């Protein structure tokens, strides 16, 4: 018989933010296939003796291709037992979840999806601010900062992203933000729109930098660093 796969959202990196259901599945798993940002102290919840397999992808670093990850997940599940696919944040937000679900369905393998604390929500909490504000920020939008080639997506909705009344969160966008910011400012977004760079949220290396769209663009055009990060901009509240 095939095994059973639990897709577990691990949150931003702080093991204290794991859900009770996530901890339960880790403690019972025979194998855990984990993302790069889901490693470290989170894996201490895994059952002793479980196979721990790193399959994470990081921009600018050698990474396994997605079809290899999906194939490995199917192989482990077909061998039987309980399998955890551990993803950072919430697996349904820019987590390549759909490709792996399709692979499991085609192989006839059952699964469940356990939500995690989205990194965008954790970043706002780390900054001490809400993502919505009565009268001034009634809409929140999440967008990826790069396409499959690592470039700024060509089909990105610049009009929506230049909306000064929306709070925007950009995932994986440090490299492309200077180009995006230039396009947004050309579309009418004020260059002094508040912006936040939230790096390594939920870890000991967490760092929050408050700036503006123009200022953050200038900073990231000179140096982006290696920490995973989110960029928030719009009518952000002051901490």
Catalytic residues: 35, 57
Tell me the β-bridge partners of 87.
9
**What residues have CB less than 8 Å from 106, skipping those under 6 apart?**
none
> Rounded to 5, what percent of the chain is helix, strand, coil?
35, 25, 45
Q: What is the DSSP string of 174-193?
A: TTTHHHHHHHHHHTT--TT-
Tell me the β-bridge partners of 5.
83, 111
With 0-12 / 13-18 / 19 or more C-beta atoms within 10 angstroms meaning exposed / middle / buried, residue 98 is exposed
Q: What is the DSSP string of 146-159?
A: --TTSSPPTT--HH
With 0-12 / 13-18 / 19 or more C-beta atoms within 10 angstroms meaning exposed / middle / buried, residue 233 is buried
Calculate the alpha carbon distances from 3 to 43, 50, 76, 119, 213 in Å: 21, 14, 8, 29, 48
């Amino acid at each position: 018989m095939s095994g059973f796969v639990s897709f577990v959202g691990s949150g931003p990196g702080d093991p204290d933010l794991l859900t009770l259901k996530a901890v339960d599945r880790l403690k019972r798993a025979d194998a855990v296939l984990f993302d790069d940002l889901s490693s470290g102290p989170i894996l201490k919840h895994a059952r002793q003796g479980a196979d721990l397999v790193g399959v994470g992808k990081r921009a600018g670093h050698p990474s396994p291709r997605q079809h290899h990850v999906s194939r490995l997940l199917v192989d482990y599940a077909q061998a039987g037992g309980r399998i955890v696919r551990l993803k950072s944040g919430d697996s349904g937000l820019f987590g390549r979840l759909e490709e792996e679900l399709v692979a499991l369905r085609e192989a006839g393998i059952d699964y469940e999806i356990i939500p995690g604390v989205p990194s965008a929500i954790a970043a706002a909490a780390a900054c001490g601010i809400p993502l919505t504000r009565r009268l001034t920020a009634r809409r929140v939008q999440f967008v990826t900062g790069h396409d499959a080639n690592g470039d700024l997506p060509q089909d990105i909705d610049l009009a929506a992203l230049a909306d000064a009344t929306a709070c925007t969160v950009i995932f994986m966008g440090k490299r492309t933000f200077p180009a995006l910011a230039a396009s947004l400012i050309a579309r009418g977004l004020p260059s002094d729109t508040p912006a936040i760079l939230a790096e390594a949220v939920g870890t000991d290396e967490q760092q929050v930098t408050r700036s503006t769209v123009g200022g953050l663009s200038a900073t990231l055009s000179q140096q982006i660093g290696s920490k995973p990060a989110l960029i928030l901009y719009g009518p952000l509240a002051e901490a």
